[in-house]
């Protein structure tokens, strides 16, 4: 009898596609790894499922248990989906910036969604959301905190699965991999895997202008799913990263629009941000190069925002650009750093201040 997969068996093994129209030099290849084909619609299915299954295996999460997480987007959606499939209660702490689409998705999966309205000292909601999630975890018996920002199992999922999968799909023939950053799960896992297995492949990090993961000046930004106000411990060795770029909101969103119009790929904001840097490098490095970019999620989630002219104009953003215009602009982009170790903004005291569950410091194998 043919064994039919369950929903969660379909996480991973995402396609790698080559762009056909935006790359002028046909000897160079720009590849996108399409994480939208995961059942929860984003790359976050991978670390979420990995962490939940490790927690079950280690006895941290038992039948009837409650999963509590701070997330304004994809990780919360994924946990809500996994909770529905496995029968756990899920509480997600979101903030006023969480989009109606994301809220609706979490609720559709049956999650208990709570909005945290108090800002932290950096003007964002990350720290207040995390502190409240940790408090609820202490109060609710049988609860488990995946803790994507501080739990090293997040990057381990990408080290053991996603990075290896990309390497196999490329058969090792790759010049650079481009990763956008928030919790550092992707960047931490990929940089470790590639520097151990193929150190010639350049690992390029892409953050939002206004985020201070790699230092710099903090201010608000619109890029969804990217940025943080400290270097997350999932990026445990900055020397494994070759270069860091910071991309402005408008460039990333215009890239999304060109990608949809000229390639038929509807990507999220971080896909656009990563591709801005990939597009720059493919022009700068000359013929015959192969650059892979992770495309973390699905543009349908952003139809009311990035793909909506009214939303863009209200925020003072341009809505139209020709490929030549954006190509010229991305060429001007300069790296935020070529010496990532000098950009460290680790804040180990946050573990105490936010009262993070301590056992995660013992999980690295
Ligand atoms: C759409 C999107 N892109 C990029 C990222 C960054 O990935 P990571 O948290 O692994 O650094 C996230 C994380 O939330 C995301 O949701």
Residues 191 and 113 grouped into a single domain? no
Q: What is the pLDDT of residues 72-111, one digit of tens each?
A: 899 999 999 999 999 999 999 999 988 999 999 999 999 9
Q: What is the pLDDT of residues 123-150, one digit of tens each?
A: 889 999 999 999 999 999 999 999 999 9
Q: Could you count the other beta carbons within 10 Å of the beta carbon of residue 18?
A: 12
Any ligand 1 atom below 6 A from CB of 185 = yes
Quick one: what percent of the chain has pLDDT higher than 90? 92
> What is the rounded CA–CA span in Å between residue 111 and residue 87?
11
* SS3 category, 138: helix
Residues 102 and 195 grouped into a single domain? no
Residue of 33, 44, 246, 280 marked active site: 44
Q: What is the pLDDT of residues 331-352, one digit of tens each?
A: 999 999 999 999 999 999 999 9
Q: What is the pLDDT of residues 270-321, one digit of tens each?
A: 999 999 999 999 999 989 999 999 999 999 999 999 999 999 999 999 999 9
Nearest CA to ligand 1 atom 16: 225
Residues 175 and 59 grouped into a single domain? no
Judged against a pLDDT cut of 70, whether residue 361 lies above it is answered with: no
Any ligand 1 atom below 6 A from CB of 181 = yes
Residues 23 and 49 grouped into a single domain? no
Q: CATH no. for residue 12?
A: 3.40.50.1100
Radius of gyration of the chain (CA): 19
Asked, for residue 72, whether it belongs to a domain, the answer is yes
Residues 204 and 69 grouped into a single domain? no
DSSP labels, 81-126: HHHHHHT-EEEEEE-TTS-HHHHHHHHHTT-EEEE-----TTSSSH
pLDDT for residue 122:
83
Residues 142 and 200 grouped into a single domain? no
Residue 53: burial class (beta carbons within 10 Å; 0-12, 13-18, 19+): middle
Q: For the CA atoms of 124, 94, 85, 179, what is the dihedral angle to 10 degrees?
A: -20
Asked, for residue 356, whether it belongs to a domain, the answer is no
pLDDT for residue 69:
98
Asked, for residue 354, whether it belongs to a domain, the answer is no
Average pLDDT over residues 2-7: 90
Number of domains in the chain: 2
Asked, for residue 365, whether it belongs to a domain, the answer is no
Residues 65 and 184 grouped into a single domain? no
Asked, for residue 157, whether it belongs to a domain, the answer is no
Mean pLDDT for all residues in the chain: 95
Residues 199 and 57 grouped into a single domain? no
Residues 249 and 104 grouped into a single domain? no
Please tell me the distance between residue 16's alpha carbon and the centre of ligand 1 in angstroms.
Answer: 18
Q: What is the pLDDT of residues 226-241, one digit of tens each?
A: 999 999 999 999 999 9
Q: What is the pLDDT of residues 45-60, one digit of tens each?
A: 999 999 999 999 999 9
Q: Which of 147, 180, 188, 208 has the most ligand 1 atoms within 8 A of CB, as the residue to mutate? A: 180
User: Is 195 considered catalytic here?
Assistant: no
Assess contact for 31 and 292: CB atoms under 8 A.
yes
Judged against a pLDDT cut of 60, whether residue 176 lies above it is answered with: yes
Asked, for residue 232, whether it belongs to a domain, the answer is yes
Residues 145 and 175 grouped into a single domain? no
Assess contact for 274 and 293: CB atoms under 8 A.
yes
Any ligand 1 atom below 6 A from CB of 297 = yes
Supply the range of the domain harboring residue 235.
7-37+162-337
Assess contact for 54 and 287: CB atoms under 8 A.
no
Residues 189 and 166 grouped into a single domain? yes
Judged against a pLDDT cut of 90, whether residue 363 lies above it is answered with: no
Least confident span in 253-257, 291-295, 358-362: 358-362
Residues 213 and 325 grouped into a single domain? yes
Asked, for residue 154, whether it belongs to a domain, the answer is no
* SS3 category, 204: strand
Asked, for residue 119, whether it belongs to a domain, the answer is yes
Residues whose CB is less than 8 angstroms from the CB of residue 149 and which lie 6 or more positions away in sequence, other chains included:
70, 126, 130, 183, 228, 232, 234
Any ligand 1 atom below 6 A from CB of 73 = yes
pLDDT for residue 365:
46
């Amino acid at each position: 009898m043919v064994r039919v997969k369950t929903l969660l068996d379909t996480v991973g093994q995402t396609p790698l596609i080559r762009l056909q129209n935006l790359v002028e030099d046909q000897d160079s290849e720009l590849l996108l790894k399409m994480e939208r084909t995961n059942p929860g619609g984003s790359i976050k299915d991978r670390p979420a499922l990995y962490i939940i299954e490790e927690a079950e295996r280690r006895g941290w999460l038992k039948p009837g248990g409650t999963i509590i997480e701070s997330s304004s987007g994809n990780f919360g959606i994924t946990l809500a989906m996994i909770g529905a499939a496995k029968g756990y209660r899920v509480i997600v702490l979101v903030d006023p910036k969480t989009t109606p689409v994301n809220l609706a998705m979490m609720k559709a999966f049956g999650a208990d969604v709570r909005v945290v309205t108090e800002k932290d000292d950096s003007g964002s909601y990350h720290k207040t959301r995390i502190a409240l999630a940790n408090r609820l975890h202490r109060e609710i018996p049988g609860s488990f905190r995946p803790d994507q920002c501080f739990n090293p199992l997040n990057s381990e999922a990408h080290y053991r699965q996603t990075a290896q999968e990309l390497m196999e799909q490329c058969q090792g023939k790759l010049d650079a991999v481009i990763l956008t950053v928030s919790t550092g799960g992707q960047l931490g896992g990929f940089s470790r895997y590639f520097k151990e297995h193929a150190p010639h492949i350049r690992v390029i990090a892409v953050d939002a202008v206004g985020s201070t993961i790699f230092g710099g000046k903090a201010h608000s930004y619109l890029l969804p799913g990217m940025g943080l106000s400290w270097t997350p411990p999932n990026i445990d060795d900055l020397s494994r990263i070759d270069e860091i770029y910071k991309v402005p909101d408008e460039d990333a969103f215009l890239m999304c629009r060109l990608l949809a119009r000229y390639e038929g790929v509807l990507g999220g904001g971080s896909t656009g941000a990563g591709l801005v840097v990939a597009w720059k490098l493919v022009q700068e490095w000359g013929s015959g190069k192969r650059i892979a970019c992770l495309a973390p999620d699905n543009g349908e989630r952003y139809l009311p925002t990035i793909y909506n002219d009214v939303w863009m104009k209200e925020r003072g953003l341009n809505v139209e650009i020709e490929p030549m215009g954006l190509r010229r602009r991305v060429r001007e982009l300069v790296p935020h750093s070529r010496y990532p170790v000098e950009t460290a903004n680790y804040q180990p005291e946050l573990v105490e201040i936010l009262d993070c569950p301590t056992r995660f410091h013992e999980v690295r194998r």
